[in-house]
Amino acid sequence: MNLILKKARLIEPGNLFHNKVIDIKIKDGIIQKIDTNIQSEEGFTAIELDNLHISTGWFDTSVSLGEPGYEERETITNGLEVAAKSGFTGIALQPNSNPIIDNQSQIHFVKQKANNSSTELFPIGALTKNSDGVELAELFDMKNAGAIAFGDYNKSIENANLLKVALQYAQDFDGLVIAFSQDNNIKGKGIVNEGISATQLGLKGISSLAEEIIINRNLFILEYTGGKLHIPTISTAKSVQLIRDAKAKGLAVTCSVAVHNLFFNDDVLKGFDANFRVTPPIRTEEDRKALIEGVIDGTIDCITSDHNPIDIEFKKLEFDLAKNGTIGLESAYTALQAILPTEIIIEKLTAGRKALGLETVTIKEGEKANISLFNPEGSSEFSQENILSKSKNSAFLGSKVKGKVYGIYNQTNLILNN
């Protein structure tokens, strides 16, 4: 589709046109011209939207979709359409399907399913076979098939030597290891953050130590082995400081935080809403503020929706019986716009490509058009009508949010919300 984006304010610090209102002419998926006023011409569709803002395409570093095996939760086709309408031009797909994505044939399968989508899919291969944490999966074969990194979704590697070997082996082919961090012995039967709220509600708690002790261990291993490590969805103030210190040492470590850990604190547990049962748990207000500080000062590299669809059969249960996870693609931008400056949001929603070792994109003449379209103004309440996913398990239902996502332009396609 050939088009001209009219009167769009570009948010891309470092770009010549940053924070300027411009027109962009796109032909066959390539940015042909950027100027302050481009005249309409035959064969081009003019797109003019209220208070249109644009940025390089957003990338989500942690998305679960279900397929293959859990299509009742979400399919790849619909999940990628949800991502597009949520402003994301690319997602990293977690390997927690059935079967687990732990070999090259599974990598080929999910990539083939995403072939015609406007949002690009980049698979994460499981670090261990069947994500059991016992034996390394076929990392090199999966890398050659298109896997961008290797990790077991929401499963910590208990065997320290296995992580050591993985970091050493992955260096042979410039592989990235993803290490979720939670000590299962300290976690025990805990299901929410250990603190006042858990005690008042009679729910078993998960100490922040469960996360921090494994992050500390993994950083020691990284310092010993070298290589590249990504620590996903951190949730505590001490975790931020541990990673800040590791970066100061020069270690090749990146990390992410989930939107819901930035937006909520554990006071929300009082309603026993199972949508707030997530991994890692929603922590204290002190932790939340430290995470926001980590985002702003650059310690935290990127923000993820940590989108995890769970069908009603496993979510609409008593709190202690429900599965962990919340969907988050649809609410990611508008929730962030309610708590962070726009420039910081865009920086952290676009930084995932670099964090996971992918080629970065920019908005300039001659480049492929990979663009997110949004409006940072206007308040609303996130409701069922905003959910596009097959599963409806959103922690953000009823939350006051800000702004609006218009859609994306990518892969020569314009995808707009109705």
User: Residue 118 is encoded by which pair of tokens?
Assistant: 């406007």
Segment 14-25 mean pLDDT? 95
CA distances to 140, 225, 227, 277 from 266, rounded to whole Å, are 41, 37, 35, 10
pLDDT tier, 1 (very low <50, low <70, confident <90, very high otherwise): confident
pLDDT over 80 at 418, yes or no = no
Residues for the chain: how many in total? 418
Strand partners, 176: 228
Q: Please tell me the predicted confidence (pLDDT) of residue 282.
A: 97
Q: Of all helices (H) and strands (E), which one includes residue 162?
A: helix 160-170
Grouping H, G, I as helix, E, B as strand and the rest as coil, residue 77 is helix
- The crossing angle, in degrees rounded to 10, of helices 209-225 and 160-170 is 40
Q: Are strands 228-231 and 253-258 parallel, antiparallel or unpaired?
A: parallel
Structural domain 57-355, CATH architecture = Alpha-Beta Barrel (3.20)
pLDDT over 90 at 350, yes or no = yes
3-53+366-416: CATH topology: Urease, subunit C; domain 1 (2.30.40)
pTM of the model: 0.96
Measured between alpha carbons, how far is 239 from 182 in angstroms, rounded to an integer? 11
pLDDT per residue over 359-375, tens digit each?
999 999 999 999 999 99
pLDDT per residue over 160-180, tens digit each?
999 999 999 999 999 999 999
> What is the CB neighbour count within 10 angstroms for residue 416?
14
266 in catalytic set: no
Closest CA to 180 of 256, 276, 261: 256
pLDDT per residue over 375-387, tens digit each?
999 999 999 999 9
Q: Which of 141, 306, 311, 320 is catalytic?
A: 306
Farthest-apart Cα atoms in the chain, separation: 67
* Domain extents in the chain: 3-53+366-416, 57-355
Q: Please tell me the predicted confidence (pLDDT) of residue 119.
A: 98
pLDDT per residue over 87-132, tens digit each?
999 999 999 999 999 999 999 999 999 999 999 999 999 999 999 9
266 in Cβ contact with 284 (< 8 Å): yes
- Tokens 């000590």, residue located: 183
Closest CA to 352 of 241, 236, 256: 256
* Ramachandran assignment for 43, one of left (phi > 0), alpha (psi -120 to 50 degrees), beta (any other): left
